[in-house]
Amino acid sequence: MSATLKRREVVAQLLADRGDLMVVAGLGSTAWDCTAAGDHPLTFPLWGAMGQAAMMGLGLALAQPSRRVLVVTGDGEMLMGMGSLATIGVQQPANLSVVVIDNERYGETGMQATHTASGVDLAAVARACGIAHASTLTRESEIAALRAAVHAQQGPNFAAVKVVADKVPIVLPPRDGGLLKARFRRALLGDAADTQ
């Protein structure tokens, strides 16, 4: 079954009325998606660190247990850090959700197939790692429930959202890593960010 969901629409819906949600955006297309939905100081968009997005979400979720954390990343990025699903499964952070925008392609390098195109099931991996709420979504009608889960469902939560493998306009966040770090910490911690 070929995917029908559009990545930009899915991410925009997940980030609508985000409140105090904190977001880690995996490098490449998902960073552009999150920026297209509205650049935000509490989004940490990655320009590198492939395979690290979910672990950054875990560190953040453990540091801020009263706040919700969402990792939005791609299938190629998640495949590179699949062990982190096991680590998250062991830690069981109740406030963490990982959403993989799965177009079954490496979008930044020429749309080559990822392993999910050959049937590797990331939601099944997540479930096997102890992430109880883990599913693969293919329908528009399922996204509202996913957004609700990101904001309120006891985690850890995982979803692979199958999306159309089309090229969409690139929308770039700031590139300076020091700036992205500092603005995130100031938005979260206030003046304490500068004295910690």
Partner 1 sequence: MTEAMSEAIDWPLEVHRILSGAKLRQVGYVPDAGHKRLIELCRADSSMRAVALTTEEEGIGLAVGAWLGGERCALLMQSSGVGNIINALGTIKECRFPLPMLITMRGEYGEFNPWQVPMGQATPAVLEAMGVVVQPVREAAGIPAAVDAALRLAYNSYVATAVLISQKVIGIKSFQEQAAR
Binding region for partner 1 (CB under 8 A):
22, 24, 44, 46-64, 81, 83-84, 86-87, 90-91, 177-178, 180-181, 184-185, 188-189, 192-193, 196
> Alpha helix locations (H) across the chain?
7-15, 29-36, 53-63, 75-80, 83-91, 122-128, 143-152, 177-189
Closer residue to partner 1 in complex, CB, 117/193: 193
Closer residue to partner 1 in complex, CB, 38/83: 83
Closer residue to partner 1 in complex, CB, 10/180: 180
In this structure, the chain runs to a length of 196
In the complex, least distance from residue 48 CB atom to partner 1, rounded to whole angstroms:
6
CA distances from 169 to 41, 79, 166, 179 (A): 22, 24, 10, 24
In the complex, least distance from residue 103 CB atom to partner 1, rounded to whole angstroms:
23
Closer residue to partner 1 in complex, CB, 162/183: 183
For the chain, the 3-state helix, strand and coil shares in percent, each to the nearest 5, are 45, 20, 40
In the complex, least distance from residue 55 CB atom to partner 1, rounded to whole angstroms:
3
**Based on the number of CB atoms within 10 Å of its own CB, is 139 exposed (0-12), middle (13-18) or buried (19 or more)?**
exposed
In the complex, least distance from residue 129 CB atom to partner 1, rounded to whole angstroms:
10
In the complex, least distance from residue 126 CB atom to partner 1, rounded to whole angstroms:
14
Closer residue to partner 1 in complex, CB, 164/192: 192
Give the rounded distance of the alpha carbon of 56 from its chain centre: 10
